Each structure stands twice: as C-alpha cells, then as structure tokens.
C-alpha cells in the first residue's frame, strides 16, 4: 500500500560530468537560487530607490563569503569524514553545504562591507531579505532531486522514496521506506515567507528599516528549528538539540533584540520613507 501512496524520485543526482567535474542537481539549483535571489533583491532596490551598483558590489561580497561559510560549517559538522578525505573539502559541485553557514557568513560579509563603505546597512538588509529567502527556496529543489538530506519515515501520501542507486537517500529508502521530504517543507515555507514579505514591507515594515530582514531571519530560524526534528542528518550537540537547531536559537537571540531596537528607533531615512509612502507623488519624491 505504501508504494501506491509514495512519490518516487527516480533521477540520478548527477547531471553530467565534464572534464572530471560533476554537475549535480544540487549544484545547479544552488546557482540558480543565487542568481534569481540577487535579481529579486535588485528589483526591490530599484523600487525603493537604492543604488543598484552598491547592491551588485554587495552581492560580489556576500556570495563568495556565503559559499565559504556554507562549505565550512558542513565540513566542521562532518569532520569524521573530511579529516580522512581532505581533498574532498573543495568538491563543492558534488553537494554538501550548510544553509546556516551560507546565511551567516554571507550576511556578515555584506554587512561589514556596507559599514566600511558607509552604505545604508538597514535598508540593504531589508532588500537582501527578499533575495535571501527566495534563493534559499529555489536551492531546496536540488535537495529534493538529489535526496542528500535524510528524514524520518512517514506514511503521508507525499512521502518520498529514492530509487536511483546513486542517490544519497537510496539506501535510506530501502532501510526506512517512505520518508518525509523535509527540505521540501522548507521550500514551501520559504515561498510563503517570500510572498508575505511584500505586503509586510510595502504596507508597514518600510517605516522601520532593518525589521524586514529581522522578520525574515526569525521566521526562517523558527522554521528550521522545527523541521530539524524530522531530519536525521545532523548530530545532537547540546541538550538533545542538533546543530541547525542550536544555530536557529543563536540567530533568534541575535536578531530579535536587534529588531526591537530598530523598531523603537523608527525610520532614519526621510527620503526613503517618502518614496514608499502611498500618499506621496513621484514629483514629491524627486524633490
């Protein structure tokens, strides 16, 4: 019966090998997520009148920083393997990244650059929030196809099994049977958050620069904390909590007080406020 109520994922996680370099679905959708996320952030920046050149520069800082952090945290979490296979550390194309590592180092790198260059840090964080959550969701499509994140068994009709022997979840599917598509739940929540940001930002949060980023980071942290209970690919490190859950708690402890502080400060850029006000004409904005 479970075979009739299960979604079968039959695809090879490797798309093609060129010159010894393996292109995977995970790598492809990670790249697509980055490109689409950057473009989304640029469009929002254009709407609110931020300097697009500054956003391009920040993307050139944030993306490499995020890649290094993503791989770095994954390597740290799986040092039992990488300690004996040091050459595999740089094999990014084959998958194996930590979303938290990417988000934390990407944001820190871009923020440090913004402060150094005297950019409008809070407004740029708000714009980045749109691209960040959209790119994250798109990247999870590759996770669904590859099956590299293992989850608990499930009897829901949207449970998945992987039938290609090259999939990291092939053996898990044989041993466990149908299991949760946990990263796909994250994809769906990311889509909901992205859609909700538009009314939240343009109707209310634009008055409090920085708070859109805080709301996005907090919602994702809570999502990741809860969904980690369905996953089996992270070790318990503290009081029964896994690495992504500990990271989620640290993020919440950081961004919530920061959001409260920024909210109490209110707006700091009058022109930015006038530009988004529904009662302000374009002529007034230009003046």
Per residue in 124-176, pLDDT tens? 999 999 999 999 999 999 999 998 889 999 988 899 999 999 999 999 999 99
Residue extents of the structural domains in the chain: 12-277
* Mean pLDDT of all residues in 12-28: 85
Query: If you average pLDDT over every residue of the chain, what do you get?
Result: 85
DSSP letter string over the chain?
A: -TTTTEEEE---SEEEEETTEEEEHHHHHHHHHHHHHHHHHHHHHHHHT--HHHHHHHHHHHHHHHHHHHHHHHHHHTHHHHTT-GGGGG-GGG----HHHHHHHHHHHHHHHHHHHT--HHHHHHHHHHHHHHHHHHHHHHHHHHT-S-B-B--STTEEEE--TTSTTHHHHHHH-SB--HHHHHHHHHHHHHHHHHHHHHHTGGGSTTHHHHHHHHHHHHHHHHHGGGB-SS-EEETTEEHHHHHHHHHHHHHHHHHHHHHHH----HHHHHHH-TT--HHHHH-
Q: Is residue 96's pLDDT more than 80?
A: no
| Lowest mean pLDDT across 99-103, 249-253, 269-273 | 269-273
- Which of the two residues, 43 and 284, has the higher pLDDT score? 43
Per residue in 39-65, pLDDT tens? 999 999 999 888 888 888 999 999 999
């Amino acid at each position: 019966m479970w075979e009739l109520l299960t979604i079968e994922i039959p695809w090879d996680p490797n798309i093609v090998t060129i010159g010894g370099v393996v292109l995977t679905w995970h790598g492809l959708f990670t790249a697509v997520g980055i490109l689409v996320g950057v473009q989304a952030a640029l469009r929002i920046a254009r709407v609110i009148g931020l300097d697009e050149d500054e956003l391009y520069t920040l993307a050139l800082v944030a993306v490499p920083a995020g890649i290094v952090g993503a791989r770095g945290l994954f390597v740290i979490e799986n040092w039992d393997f990488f300690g004996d296979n040091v050459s595999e550390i740089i094999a990014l194309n084959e998958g194996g990244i930590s979303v938290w590592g990417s988000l934390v180092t990407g944001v820190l790198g871009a923020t440090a650059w913004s402060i150094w260059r005297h950019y409008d840090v809070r407004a740029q964080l708000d714009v980045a929030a749109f691209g960040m959550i959209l790119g994250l969701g798109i990247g999870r499509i590759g996770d669904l196809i590859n099956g590299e994140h293992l989850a608990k068994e499930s009897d829901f009709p949207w449970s998945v099994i992987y039938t290609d022997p090259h999939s990291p979840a092939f053996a898990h599917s044989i041993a466990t049977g149908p299991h949760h598509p946990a990263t796909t739940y994250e994809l769906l929540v990311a889509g909901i958050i992205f859609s909700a940001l538009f009314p939240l930002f343009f109707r209310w949060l634009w008055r409090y620069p920085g708070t859109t980023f805080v709301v996005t980071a907090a919602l994702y942290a809570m999502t990741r904390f809860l969904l980690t209970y369905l996953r089996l690919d992270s070790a318990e490190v503290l009081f029964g909590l896994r690495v992504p859950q500990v990271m989620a708690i640290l993020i919440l402890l950081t961004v919530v007080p920061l959001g409260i502080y920024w909210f109490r400060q209110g707006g700091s850029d009058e022109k930015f406020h006038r530009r988004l006000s529904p009662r302000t004409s374009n002529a007034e904005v230009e003046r």
